[in-house]
A and B are shown apart, each in its own frame.
Chain A
C-alpha cells in the first residue's frame, strides 16, 4: 500500500507557481541560462536571395486526419507499406517465417479431426465429408480471431507511430485485418483445392452464400477490432478478454458437430438456440459451408444441415454488423483524441 502511495506522489507533476502571465517562478534565470548555453548551438546560415511567392491552392482544413476507415482505404499505398512492414516485423529473425502461420492451424486441424472425426465419429451427427465441414469453419474462424486479437493490440504496438506521425489511426486495425487475410488466403486456396478434388460443383446459390458469409465476417471482425483497439489503449485487460473469447470460439460455431444437432437442441431450449445463433461468426461459418462443403454433396445429404431461415438470418446479421461497424467507427473517433496521453 505504501509503495502505491509513494509512486503516486512521485508521478505528481512539480507544481510551478506562475504569475498572472503564466510565467514560472525562476523562469527568468532559467531562460537566460538556457539561451546563453544554446545561443550558438545551431550554425547560422543566411537566406540566399529574395523570397519567392508560393501560392497554395488548397482550402484551410483541420490538420488532424478525419474520415476514418474510408480514408484508410483511399491511401492504398500507405496501407500497403504498413501491411508489408507488419509482415516483415512478424517474421523478422524467424527461420520458418511465414510457415508458422500454417503450422499452428494445421496442427489444430489434425487434433480436431482426430478427436471429432475419428474418436468421436458417432457423436458429431454423421456429417458426410466431415473434414471439409470442419476445415471450412476453422479457416474462417482463424481469420476472425486473428483480425480481432491482432486488431485489439494494434494501436498499442504501433504507439511510436500513433504518437509522432499523422496517420489515420484506423489504419492499424485495418492492417491487422489485412495481415489476417494474407495468412488466410493460402488456407482458402487449400480448402478450394480440397473441395475440387472431392467433387465440388458450381452453384450461384453457393457463391452468394459465401459472399454474404464473408461480408458478415469482415464487417463484424472490423467493428470489433476498432472497438477493442481503442479500449486496449486505456486498459490492457481487453487483450486478455479477447484472448479468452477467441479460445472458446472454435467450439461455438457449427463445425465440429452438425447443425441438425443444434436444431434438436433448439426444439427444447429455444433461448439457447437463439443465443447461439446471435453470434455472427456462427452464421457466417454456415454460409461459407454452404459455399465450400455443401456443393460436394447431394442436396438431400445437407438439406437438414442448414437452418430453414439461413438467408433471412444472414441478411439481418449483415445489416446488424454494418450498423455495429458505424457505431464502432464513431466510438473509435471519440476515444482517439485521448490516445496520445494514454500511450
Chain B
C-alpha cells in the first residue's frame, strides 16, 4: 500500500477581484476605461507529495499564498488548475474558532464544530470530557461563545480540532492568540499527534518551533513553491543568509506594519 498522504500536482489558484458591484459603478468604470476586474494568482503551479507521518513546515511572507494552499488542501477551496488528492480524514484549523456561532454555548459549538470536522455523535460524546479539559474553559462551557475571551475561543477551537483523530492535521497560525503556557500545551499535543504518525502541516514564522516540529520545510514566495527540503536549509533559504546586505537596512520602520 502506498504511503503518500497528500499529493499536489501543478496546482494554481486565481482570485478574481471585482472592483465594481453595482451597474452604475460598472458603467462609470467602463467609460473611464478602468478595469472591471482583475485576476490575481495566489498559488502558482505548485507540486509536491507528502508521505504519511511527515511533518511539514510551511513558511513564507504574509501574502505568499500559505493560507490559500492550506485551504486548498483542506478542501474549502478548489484549485483552478491542477489536482489535489489527500488520504484519510483531515482536521484543519484554518482560523481560530472558525464556524463557531456566537449565540450558541460552548457546548453546542463543540458538537457542531466536531460534526463539521467529521466526527460522529458517539465519537464526540466519547471525547467530550477530554476536549473540555484540554480547552480549560471550565464553567464557561454553557455560556454563549460571544462572551469568551479570544484566548478561550482559540483554546476551544484548537482542542476540538486536535482531538479529531485525523490522518492529516493542518494548523495555520492559529495559536498566535493563546498565552504561553497554552501554546506550550498545544505544541506538546501536536508532538503527540505527530508521534502517532499523523501528517502535519504547520504554518509558522517561529523558526525555533518549526525546527522542533517539522521534518521538512516548504517555502512559498508570491505563490511559487521555491524551496522544498530540509528544515535548516529552508530556514536558511528564507533568511537569505548568504546575502551580504547590512543590518542597517533592517531598521526600516515601514516594514513593521506588514507584520
Collect the chain A residues with CB atoms within 8 Å of residue B188's CB.
45
Task: Name the A residues within 8 Å of B243 (CB-CB).
Answer: 28
Give the contacting residue for B205; candidates A34, A49, A166; CB below 8 A: A34
Task: For B222, give its contact among A23, A34, A337 (CB under 8 Å).
Answer: A23
Segment of B77-85, B128-136, B148-156 engaged in the interface with chain A:
B77-85
Within 8 A of A (CB), among B6-31: 7, 15-21, 24-25, 28-29
Nearest B residue (CB) for A53: B197
> B200-259: which have CB < 8 Å to A?
204-209, 211-213, 221-224, 226, 235, 238-240, 243, 245, 249-250, 252, 255-256, 258-259
Q: Is the CB of A42 within 8 A of B175?
A: yes
A-B contact count (CB 8 A): 243
B76 contact from A49, A52, A165, Cβ within 8 A? A165
> In the complex, which residues of chain A have a beta carbon less than 8 angstroms from the beta carbon of B252?
29, 33
Chain B interface residue count, CB cutoff 8 Å, equals 100
Give min CB distance, A46 to chain B, whole Å: 5
A161 to B249, CA, bound (A): 42
Task: Give the residues from 142 to 174 in chain A that come closer than 8 angstroms, CB to CB, to chain B.
Answer: 160-161, 163-167
Q: Interface 1/0s, chain A 18-55, versus B by CB < 8 A?
A: 10011110111111111111111111111111111111
Does B95 make an interface contact (CB < 8 A)?
A: yes
Q: Are B206 and A38 in contact (CB under 8 A)?
A: yes
Residues in A291-343 with C-beta less than 8 Å from chain B: 336-338, 340-342
CA of A36 to CA of B247, assembled, Å: 12
Contacts of A161 in B (CB 8 A): 98-99, 116
Does A16 touch B at the CB level, under 8 Å? yes
Do the beta carbons of A77 and B208 come within 8 Å of each other? no
CB distance from B58 to the nearest CB of A (A): 14
Assembly CA distance A27 to B53 (angstroms)? 32
Provide the residues of chain B in CB contact with A82, threshold 8 Å: 112
The smallest C-beta distance from B188 to any residue of chain A, in angstroms, reads 5
CA distance A26 to B221 in the complex (A): 12
Which residues of A lie under 8 Å from residue B84 when comparing CB positions?
A: 62-64
State the CA gap A5–B235 with chains docked (Å).
Answer: 43
Shortest Cβ distance from B113 into A: residue: A165
Closest-by-CB residue of A relative to B258 is: A30
* Cα separation A286 to B259 with both chains bound (whole Å): 64
Tell me if B99 and A160 are in contact (CB < 8 A): yes
Whether, in the assembled complex, B87 has its beta carbon less than 8 Å from a beta carbon of chain A, the answer is yes
Which residue of A is nearest B189, CB measured? A45
Known contacts A53-B53, A56-B88; is-contact A47 B226 (Cβ 8 Å): no
Binds B, one of A84-92, A176-184, A218-226, A249-257: A84-92
Output the least CB separation between B237 and chain A (Å).
9
A339 (CB) vs chain B CBs: closest residue: B77
Residues of A contacting B120 in the complex (Cβ-Cβ under 8 angstroms): 77
Task: Tell me whether A30 and B32 are in contact (CB under 8 A).
Answer: no
The answer, yes or no, to whether B184 is at the interface (CB within 8 Å) is: yes
**B104 CB within 8 Å of chain A:** yes
* A16 and B195 alpha carbons, distance in the complex (Å): 40
Known: A58-B167, A60-B4. A27 touches B61 (CB 8 A): yes
Tell me whether B101 and A22 are in contact (CB under 8 A). no
Nearest A residue to B167, CB-CB? A56
Q: Which residues of B contact A199 (CB under 8 A)?
A: none
CB distance from A126 to the nearest CB of B (A): 49
Total number of A residues with any Cβ neighbor in B under 8 Å: 76
Chain A residues whose C-beta falls within 8 Å of the C-beta of B25 in the assembled complex? 4, 8
Report yes or no: A44 in contact with B196, Cβ–Cβ below 8 A. Answer: no
- Give the distance in Å from the alpha carbon of A45 to the alpha carbon of B188 in the complex: 6
A89 to B: closest C-beta gap in Å: 6
A77 touches B221 (CB 8 A): no
Given contacts A31-B61, A31-B238, A42-B209, contact A166 B75 (CB under 8 A): yes
A111 within 8 A of B: no
The answer to whether A60 touches B87 (Cβ under 8 A) is: yes
A95, CB-defined interface residue at 8 Å: no
User: Which residue on B lies nearest to A40, using beta carbons?
Assistant: B208
User: Contacting B34 at CB < 8 Å: which of A8, A50, A77, A336?
Assistant: A8
Contacts of B88 in A (CB 8 A): 56, 58
Closest A residue to B34 by beta carbon equals: A8
B residues near A1, Cβ cutoff 8 Å: 28
Given the known interface contacts A33-B250, A35-B207, A164-B94, the answer about A88 and B255 at a Cβ–Cβ threshold of 8 Å is no
Footprint of A on B, CB under 8 Å? 1-2, 4-5, 7, 15-21, 24-25, 28-29, 32, 34, 38, 40, 44, 52-53, 61-62, 71, 73-78, 80, 83-90, 92, 94-95, 98-99, 101, 103-104, 108, 111-112, 115-117, 120-121, 167, 175-176, 180, 183-184, 187-188, 190-192, 194-198, 204-209, 211-213, 221-224, 226, 235, 238-240, 243, 245, 249-250, 252, 255-256, 258-259
A sample of 10 inter-chain contacts (CB < 8 A) reads: A11-B17, A18-B222, A22-B44, A30-B259, A47-B194, A51-B195, A60-B86, A63-B90, A336-B78, A337-B78
| Given contact pairs A38-B205, A47-B191, A77-B121, a sample of 13 additional A-B residue pairs in the complex whose CB atoms are under 8 Å apart | A4-B20, A5-B32, A28-B240, A38-B259, A39-B205, A41-B209, A43-B209, A54-B197, A60-B7, A60-B86, A60-B87, A89-B104, A337-B80
